[in-house]
Every structure is written in C-alpha cells, then in structure tokens.
C-alpha cells in the first residue's frame, strides 16, 4: 500500500530528525513523529477517497441507465486505487460485489464481498445470503455470527438471519436468533411479530422492512400503480 508505505517513511524520517538533530528523548520523539505520519496517511486517504467517489458516481450513472456491464468494468478498473490506500479497496469491492449480486453472478459477488471489511453490514449480509442460495448453511451461519458480534443493535440482521434459518428448516435456531435480538434491542415489534409467526407455524414476513429487504431479491416489491392510472377523487 502506497499510503501505508509513505506514512512509515514519514514516521522514520521524522523520528530520526527529532532524535539526531534535535536530540529529543526517545519517548518524546516517538510520540511527535507519529503525528506527521498520520497526517500523510490521512491526506493520501482523502485524495484517493475523492478519486474513488468519482469512480463510484460514474458506475452509479451507468447502473441508472441499465448499463451494468459498463458499471462493473469501471469499478474493476478502479480497483488499482486499493494499492494507494487500504480502506478504498474495501469500498470498491463492496459496490462491485453488490452489482454482481444484482446480476446473479454469485461466485464473482462472493469473491468481492469476502474482501470487504466488516465496517458495513449490508455487503456482509449479501455474502451470507449467497451462501444461503448455494445451500452452504454452515458458512452462512458463521458469516451471520461474526456479523452480529459487531452489529448487535441492527434489527434487520437478526430478522434476515432468522428468515434464512427458517427457510432452511431450522426453526429452533431461528427462534433463538430472534430472542437474542429482542434481548439486545430490549424491544422490537417486527422481531416480536416474527417470533409469533414461527410459533404459529407461519413464515417470517420480511416485506415490513421494505426496500431494505427487497434489495436481496428474494421477493419482488409490490407493483406501484402509474400516477395516471390512479383513480381520482373529487369533492
């Protein structure tokens, strides 16, 4: 990583400057030398981050026009930015993985989403749901367990995890996940309703989560009537 390498070089040069030329104590030199190296790392990150944002904006414009192949190619070319800053690569892999997911290219999506950092839960949920689609339930469970270790307060993660378990015939595990979510959140109406559904022998209803749920493409969103076809009411 160019950013990391330049930060290390800056730290070493600063440390030698404070130690040899200014004759500062070692502990003071170490503390102060860290500051310019951090500044260099942040400046490089800001510069590369702007490049990545422009790249993803271009990809978004292509997706809006239905040109998914062009969007994917733009992001693949932009992966060279990962050599300049470690955090940028994770962002591009996340976006690229999502596009592959929407294209139902599960293997490519899985390869990209595996390289995404845990800082955002959405790409990792997609990774888990690819395992679900591939019927690799153990891998799916391990992904969700790791995810819930970091995102204990995210109700949707509990809900979709329980949904996948229920679909896999693991009703008892689904109940445990939902109860764990209730315990972590203190109260959540949708999770409580999901528990009632399982106890009544009914499937968990994920449509209550709206677009958050529909993006995973297990269920189509309800069709919205065209404004011109809506019945008009007059007083």
Complete DSSP assignment for 33-70: HHHHHHHHHHHHHHHHHHHHHHHHHHHHHHHHTT-HHH
Q: What is the pLDDT of residue 36?
A: 74
Single out the residue of 10, 213, 165 nearest to residue 178, CA to CA. Answer: 165
Decide if domain 118-235 falls under CATH 2.120.10: no
What is the pLDDT at residue 118? Answer: 83
* Residue-level pLDDT at 16: 67
d(CA 123, CA 52): 18
Residue 234 is predicted with a pLDDT of 34
Contact assessment for residue 112 and residue 131, using Cβ atoms and an 8 Å cutoff? no
Question: Residue 174: pLDDT above 90?
Answer: yes
- 1-117, CATH topology level: 1.25.40
Domain boundaries, the chain: 1-117, 118-235
- For range 154-171, the mean pLDDT: 97
- Confidence tier at 88 by pLDDT (50, 70, 90): confident
Q: How far is residue 195's CA from residue 191's CA, in Å, rounded to a whole number?
A: 6
In terms of pLDDT, which residue wins out, 228 or 104? Answer: 104
- Evaluate if residue 129 carries a pLDDT over 80: yes
How crowded is residue 212: how many other Cβ atoms within 10 Å of its Cβ?
Answer: 14
Distance CA 176, CA 47 (A): 45
| Listed range (77-86, 112-121, 145-154) with the worst mean pLDDT | 77-86
Tokens 């950092």 locate to: 117
pLDDT at 6: 55
Residue 227: predicted pLDDT: 44
Q: Indicate if 118-235 has the same CATH topology as 1-117.
A: yes
Contacts of 68 (CB under 8 A, 6+ apart): 62, 99, 102, 103
231 band by pLDDT with thresholds 50, 70 and 90: very low
More confident residue, 92 or 1: 92
pLDDT at 158: 97
Cβ burial, residue 125 (10 Å; 0-12/13-18/19+)? buried
Report pLDDT digits (tens) over 202-220.
999 999 999 999 999 999 8
Per-residue pLDDT reduced to its tens digit, 50-82: 888 898 899 999 999 989 999 999 999 988 888
Q: Is the pLDDT of residue 183 over 90?
A: yes
What is the reported pLDDT for 225?
Answer: 53
Q: Work out the end-to-end distance of the chain between its first and last CA atoms, rounded to an integer number of angstroms.
A: 67
- Chain-wide mean pLDDT for the chain? 85
**pLDDT tens-place string over residues 4-46:** 565 667 657 666 666 676 776 776 666 776 687 777 777 777 8
């Amino acid at each position: 990583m160019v950013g990391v390498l330049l930060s290390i070089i800056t730290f070493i040069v600063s440390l030698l400057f404070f130690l040899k030329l200014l004759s500062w104590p070692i502990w003071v030199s170490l503390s102060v030398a860290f500051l310019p190296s951090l500044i260099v790392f942040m400046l490089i990150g800001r510069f590369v981050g702007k490049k990545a944002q422009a790249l993803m904006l271009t990809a978004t414009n292509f997706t809006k026009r239905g040109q998914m192949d062009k969007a994917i190619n733009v992001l693949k070319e932009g992966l060279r930015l990962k050599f300049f800053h470690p955090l940028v690569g994770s962002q591009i892999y996340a976006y690229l993985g999502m596009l592959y997911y929407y294209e139902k290219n599960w293997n490519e999506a899985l390869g990209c989403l595996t390289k995404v950092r845990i800082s955002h839960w959405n790409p990792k949920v997609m990774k888990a749901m690819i395992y679900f689609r591939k019927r690799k339930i153990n891998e799916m469970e391990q992904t969700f367990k790791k995810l819930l270790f970091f995102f204990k307060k995210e109700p949707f993660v509990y809900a979709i995890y329980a949904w996948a378990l229920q679909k896999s015939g693991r009703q008892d595990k689904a109940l445990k996940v939902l109860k764990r979510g209730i315990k972590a959140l203190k109260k959540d109406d949708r999770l409580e309703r999901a528990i009632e559904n399982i106890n009544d022998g009914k499937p968990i209803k994920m449509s209550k989560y709206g677009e958050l749920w529909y993006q995973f493409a297990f269920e189509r969103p309800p069709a919205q009537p065209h404004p011109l076809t809506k019945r008009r009411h007059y007083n």
